[in-house]
Amino acid sequence: MSAARARLNPIGEIVDHKEIVVCAGSGGVGKTTTAAAIALQAALDGKKVAVLTIDPAKRLASSLGLKELTNEPSKVSKRKFTSAGLEMKGELWALMLDTKTTFDEVVTRYAPSPEQAERILENRFYRNISSTLSGTQEYMAMEKLYELHADGAYDIIVIDTPPTRNALDFLDAPRRLTDFFESRVLRWFLMPYMKAGGGIFRVANVAATTFLRVVKRIIGGDVLQDTAEFFSNLEGMYDGFKERAREVSALLQSDATSFVIVTSPGEDSVMEATFFAARLNEAGLPFGALIVNRVHPKLGDGVDVKPRQLTKLEKQGDQGQLLAKLIDNEEAFMRVVRLEEKNLNALARKIPKHRWVRVPYLEQEAVDFAGLSLIADKLFEA
Amino acid sequence: MHVDEFLDPKILIVSGKGGVGKTTVAAALALVAARHGRKVCMAEIDRKGTLPKLFGGGEVTYEPRELSPGVWGLNIIPEDALAEYLRVQYHMSRISRVFRSTHFVDYITTAAPGLKDILVLGKIWYLEQDRDHGGGAHGFDTIIVDAPAAGHMATFLKAPQGLADAVRLGPVRRQSEWLNDMLTDPKRSRVHLVSLAEEIPASETLETSEALDKELGISQGAVFANAVYSRLLMDEEADEFERIAADGKIDELCDVAKASGINLDDDDLGALHGYARFLKARRNIQSQHLRKLSRGVTQPVMELPFLFSAGLALPDIETLADVIEEQMETL
Ligand SMILES: Nc1ncnc2c1ncn2[C@@H]1O[C@H](COP(=O)(O)OP(=O)(O)O)[C@@H](O)[C@H]1O
Ligand SMILES: [Mg+2]
């Protein structure tokens, strides 16, 4: 599509000029679908695109004509487009974040020796991290994004973000994880388990020992041993981690990136989006557009009818009754429309309307390729 | 089915994909229980939830607070639950700051995955057993848990089994067995799933329901299909309108309207037509998924109406509670 579109539509402009699009928003608003639709349109436009999804619905892979999505990009067949009557000039690659595998790769990269990497990968505490420690998924999503970008194989990368209840969580995640690894608290109480210098256990103060006794009762002594080993093995890798985290945030702050906030017109998700816009600003991250997904369509300005008139209408035979029902129905939807507008008005004060794109609540579900491409149409409509 | 039977187990766990209306339905269930004379406690888990807003403001903390007559609320924060556990188990009355640090709680729950869930379930157990740990016993008849989103739900409910397998001996082992007993006893706990009549949430609901059944052996109450558009207008009526328009007889309708003092312009007619179509299309989609839900689960599927009101507040929750009560009678 043309330069004309790019000037008119914020999403079109982003796709034309940016290398990274981050779709963020609170859970359940349609981030994954939106990310896939943006990627699809970019590919139609002639770009080589990768879309990195996180916890996608099972149907997404099949609607792209893929058996499954993995941690490595799979190419969407051109046939998928042609059979939908679309001419695709670029390439569409899709992948799904695998937190554990990505973390393993990070460890292997930063460990001073292959033996040390091996020791970490086999450690039980480490193996629990990717499934349990909060922030890990977010951190690895950023890592994977960085990797794809550094690879240089794609014109544009569209990334979905983890379904946190709180849209802000993933901004803090890398920080949270590195802080955790360097935690003084943990060091303090794991001290007796850490081998100091010549391999002698150094017993810390009495408080730490009492504390340790309780922890040991709860999670068991061997678990403590495992974690102490994990933390010792991690020594010497922090600088690598931190350096990478810095590079990732520099990339996110750069001109190459654009954040797209996805929201529903519901009050909670609008509030979340408002906070999120403010946080992006504070963090110096480039905001690109707001997508309001699943907005009830606004048709007309509301029929002007008084309750008294409606009662009268109902008494006017079959046609009167039919009309009364039609009016009832219209009024009900208009109430929702007004409510959604009221919710959204709070956002208009934070994000200028020309950066907004509304995707209507469609009369069909966007669960197959046709549905995705319909969403794409709506997203890129001026 | 009698209401008492429906509300029977003391612990009602409400779960579903994020945004489908879990909290809303949990609140409606709480009202139903309160109407039947029960003292109800709604438990949110580790979040600043929407619960207080539904009941008109304030904050919900670890200490239960009465939100509306007969309905209490608390927020189970794992850090607080750990502190309570240590106090009760190890008589550590002055909880060290270290225990309350986020890093420590993160650490300990990573070292022993599922521990966070255990702590939360442990608090539910304390509430169920009505243990008085200083705050005074509350004597709740019903505990409604606004559980983690469906994706995390299986992990959440499986945690005691997992921990019992991992720890062979000692108090923790014994305690995880207690929790598992609590969850798998149909006289003590039951799960209600909330869904929308749409592709993604409905498929997920079917999966969750099956997992609860096969892997966890937890009793299930109802599937609530939330936000189903009402039949303000039947398909045939929408079709009838289309026919009148196609036959060029719209003017006749406008005349009928005029006789009641209503002036319909072209915009108005377009809106009447458009919303009639929209309702019909969305209802079609919903019916399809409602059928899929009914076929896919053995428990009853209850439809809850989409509420067209301006913002959901207590009166709306009352409406949903009415609908639930009505449908309970016919089960
Ligand atoms: N029956 C309903 N009709 C209309 N809106 C609803 C209904 N149930 C829930 N909602 C709205 O949907 C949104 C999500 O509801 P909530 O109960 O907070 O979901 P969850 O707890 O599953 O995240 C809220 O804005 C709520 O007002
Ligand atoms: Mg909720």
Question: What is the pLDDT at residue A202?
Answer: 47
Within 10 angstroms of residue A72's Cβ, the number of other Cβ atoms is: 10
Q: What is the DSSP string of B162-214?
A: HHHHH--SHHHHHHHHHHHHHHH-TTTEEEEEEEESSHHHHHHHHHHHHHIII
Interface of B with A in 36-55 (CB under 8 A): 47, 50
Q: Pick from A183, A217, A365: which is nearest to B170 by CB?
A: A217
- Identify the pLDDT of residue A320: 95
Q: Which residues of B touch A32 (CB under 8 A)?
A: none
B304 lines ligand 1 (CB under 6 A): yes
ipTM of the predicted structure? 0.90
For residue B304, tell me if it sits in a domain: yes
pLDDT of residue A190: 75
Which of B232, B282, B312, B317 is the pocket-test mutation for ligand 1 (most atoms within 8 Å of CB)?
B312
Residue B280 above 70 pLDDT?
Answer: yes
Distance CA B133, CA A369 (A): 56
Torsion angles phi and psi, residue A197, rounded to 5? 40, -105
Distance CA B114, CA B93 (A): 25
The token duo for B32 is 């139903």
Which residues make beta-bridge pairs with A21? A158, A258
Number of compact structural domains in chain B: 1
pTM of the model: 0.90
- State how far the Cα of A363 lies from the Cα of A333, in Å rounded to an integer: 14
CA dist B28 → A147, B215, B303 (Å): 47, 29, 13
B249 within a domain of the structure (yes/no):
no
CA-nearest residue, atom 7 of ligand 1: B227
Q: Which of B31, B37, B222 is nearest to B144 (CA)?
A: B31
Test A27 with B19 for CB contact under 8 angstroms. Answer: yes
A305 interaction partners in chain B (CB closer than 8 Å):
262
Could you list the residue range(s) of the whole structural domain that residue B56 is in? 3-230+286-328
The reply to whether ligand 1 has any atom less than 6 angstroms from the CB of B24 is yes
Residue B226: both structure tokens together: 């939330």
Tell me how far the alpha carbon of residue A268 lies from the centroid of ligand 2, in angstroms. 10
Query: Quick check: A347 and A270 in contact, CB under 8 A?
Result: yes
- A61, A170 Cβ separation under 8 angstroms: no
- Asked if B62 contacts B85 with a C-beta cutoff of 8 angstroms, the reply is no
A303 contacts B268? CB cut-off 8 A: yes
pLDDT of residue B167: 67
In this complex, the residue of A55, A300, A309 whose CB is nearest that of residue B271 is: A300
Say what the pLDDT of residue A201 is: 44
Chain B nearest-CA distance from A132, in A, is 6
pLDDT at A4: 46
Instruction: Supply angle C-alpha A186, A187, A189, rounded to 5.
Output: 70
The answer to whether residue B273 sits within a structural domain is no
Q: Which residue is closest in CA terms to ligand 1's atom 17?
A: B21
Report how far apart, in Å, the C-alpha atoms of B314 and of each of B60, B75, B204 are: 16, 19, 29
Residue A203 has a pLDDT of 47
Does some domain include residue B203? yes
Closest CA of chain A from B104, distance in Å: 7
Cα of B16 vs centre of ligand 2, distance in Å, is 9
**Residue B323 placed within a domain:** yes
Q: What is the pLDDT along chain A (382 residues), one digit of tens a residue?
A: 444 444 579 999 999 999 999 999 887 888 999 999 999 999 999 999 999 998 888 889 999 999 999 999 999 999 999 999 999 999 999 999 999 999 999 999 989 999 999 999 999 889 888 777 877 888 899 899 999 999 999 999 999 988 766 666 777 777 777 788 888 777 777 777 765 543 434 445 566 677 777 778 777 778 888 888 888 888 888 888 888 888 988 999 999 999 999 999 988 889 889 988 998 999 899 999 999 999 999 999 999 999 999 999 999 999 999 999 999 999 999 999 999 999 999 899 889 999 999 999 998 888 889 999 999 999 998 6
Q: Which of A181, A109, A180, A100 is nearest to A141 (CA)?
A: A100
B282 touches chain A (CB under 8 A): yes
A63 or B135: which leads in pLDDT: A63
Q: Which of A32, A53, A130, A323 to mutate to test the interface with B (most CBs of B within 10 A)?
A: A323
Q: DSSP letter for B230, please.
A: P
Per residue in B205-247, pLDDT (tens digit) is 999 999 999 988 899 999 999 999 987 899 999 999 999 999 9
Q: Which helix (H) or strand (E) element contains residue A98?
A: none
Domain holding B36: CATH number? 3.40.50.300
The Cα–Cα gap between B81 and B108 comes to: 13
Tell if the CB–CB gap between B260 and A309 is shorter than 8 Å.
yes
**B11: alpha, beta or left? (left if phi > 0; alpha if psi -120 to 50):** beta
User: For residue A215, what is the nearest residue in chain B, using CA coordinates?
Assistant: B108
**Quick one: pLDDT band at residue B62, thresholds 50, 70, 90?**
very high
Mean pLDDT of B247-254: 92
E strand spans, chain A:
20-24, 48-53, 74-75, 91-96, 156-159, 195-196, 200-201, 257-263, 287-295, 356-360
Q: Which atom of ligand 1 is nearest to the CA of B304?
A: 1
Q: Which residues of A touch B267 (CB under 8 A)?
A: 300-301
DSSP string, A45-67: TT-EEEEEESS--HHHHHHTT-S
The answer to whether residue B149 sits within a structural domain is yes
Distance B40 CA to ligand 2 centre (A): 18
For position A213, what pLDDT does the model report? 78
Q: What is the pLDDT of residue A183?
A: 80
Q: Please work out whether the CB of residue B18 comes within 6 Å of at least one atom of ligand 1.
A: yes
Measured in residues, chain A has a length of 382
Q: Give the position, in ligand 1's atom list, of the atom nearest the Cα of B312.
A: 27
Q: What is the pLDDT of residues B167-202, one digit of tens each?
A: 666 777 888 899 999 999 999 999 999 999 999 899
How far is it, in rounded angstroms, from Cα A127 to Cα A129? 6
- Given this model, what pLDDT does residue B97 score? 66
User: How many degrees, rounded to 5, is the angle at CA A248 between CA A245 and CA A253?
Assistant: 125
Given CB atoms, is B59 within the 8 Å cutoff of chain A? no
- Write the single-letter amino acid at A370: A
Phi/psi of residue B40, each to 5°? -110, 140
For residue B55, what pLDDT is reported?
Answer: 86
Tell me the torsion sign for CA atoms A305, A309, A311, A316. Answer: negative
Amino acid A233: pLDDT: 87
Minimal-distance CA residue of chain B relative to A367: B199
pLDDT at position A313, please? Answer: 95
Mean pLDDT of B11-17: 93
Whether residue B313 is predicted with pLDDT greater than 80 in this model: the reply is yes
Residue B231 backbone dihedrals phi, psi, to 5 degrees = -100, 55
B82 → chain A, closest CA residue? A218
According to the per-residue pLDDT averaged within each range, which of A4-8, B247-251, B285-289, B305-309 is highest?
B285-289
Confirm whether B314 is domain-assigned: yes
Query: Does some domain include residue B39?
Result: yes
pLDDT score of A40: 97
Residue nearest to ligand 1 atom 10, measured at CA: B21
